[in-house]
Amino acid sequence: MKQLWAPWRLEYIKSADEDAGCVFCAAVEGDDEERLVVRRGENAIVLLNKYPYSSGHFMVAPIRHIGEYGELDAEEVLELHRLAAAGMGALGTLYAPHGYNVGWNLGRTAGAGVVDHVHLHVVPRWGGDTNFMPVLADVKVLPQHLAETRRRLAEVWPED
Q: Which of 57, 117, 119, 121 is catalytic?
A: 119
What angle in degrees, to the nearest 10, is found between the helix axes of 146-156 and 74-95? Answer: 110
Q: Taking Cα atoms as reference points, which of 17, 40, 11 lies closest to residue 146?
A: 11
**Hey, is 31 helix, strand or coil?**
coil
**Hey, is 102 helix, strand or coil?**
strand
Q: Taking Cα atoms as reference points, which of 114, 18, 111, 121 lies closest to residue 66?
A: 114
Partners of residue 59 on adjacent β-strands:
47, 121
Give yes or no: 57 in active site. no
Q: Which residues are catalytic?
A: 119
